[in-house]
C-alpha cells in the first residue's frame, strides 16, 4: 500500500500506548489488566515534523518543544486528517513560534 511521504512541517498524529490506574479523558481503546488494578490504553499525540533524516528517521516536535526521533515506517505514526487539523488545531505545535528557541540567556 502506498503511503504519502512525510515532509518537514507536516502535521502528524502518533498513537502512544500507556498503562496507568486512571486513564485520562482522551484515552482510547481502554482495556483492564488481568488483576484489574491498571488499564492499558492509547492516547493520540499531535506533533509537527521538524526535519526528515535520510536514514529513515523523523524529528518531530511536541507542543511544549520536546523533540522525538521516530521511524518513518512506525505503524503508530500517520498524517493528521483534515478533521484533526481543523478541530484539534490547538493541540498541534505552531511552526512559527518555538518557546524553547526564543529564550535567550
Instruction: Give the per-residue pLDDT at 86.
Output: 84
Average pLDDT, rounded, for the chain = 84
Find the mean pLDDT for residues 12-20: 93
Find the mean pLDDT for residues 3-27: 90
- Residue 95 CB: number of other CB atoms within 10 A? 13
Instruction: Give the per-residue pLDDT at 96.
Output: 45
Question: Is-contact 20 33, C-beta < 8 A?
Answer: no
- Residue 67 CB: number of other CB atoms within 10 A? 12
Find the mean pLDDT for residues 29-52: 90
pTM above 0.85, yes or no: no
CA distance 18 to 57: 23
Instruction: Give the per-residue pLDDT at 100.
Output: 46
Digit-coded pLDDT (tens) for 62-104 = 988 899 999 998 999 999 989 888 888 888 887 644 444 444 4
Instruction: Give the per-residue pLDDT at 95.
Output: 60
Amino acid at each position: 500500500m502506498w503511503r504519502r511521504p512525510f515532509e518537514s512541517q507536516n502535521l502528524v498524529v502518533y498513537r502512544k500506548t500507556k498503562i496507568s490506574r486512571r486513564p485520562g479523558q482522551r484515552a482510547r481503546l481502554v482495556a483492564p489488566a488481568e488483576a484489574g488494578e491498571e488499564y492499558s490504553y492509547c492516547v493520540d499525540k499531535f506533533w509537527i515534523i521538524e526535519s526528515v533524516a535520510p536514514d529513515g528517521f523523523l524529528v518531530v516536535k511536541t507542543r511544549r518543544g520536546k523533540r522525538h526521533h521516530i521511524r518513518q515506517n512506525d505503524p503508530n505514526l500517520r498524517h493528521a486528517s483534515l478533521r484533526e487539523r481543523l478541530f484539534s488545531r490547538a493541540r498541534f505545535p505552531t511552526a512559527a513560534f518555538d518557546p524553547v528557541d526564543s529564550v535567550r540567556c
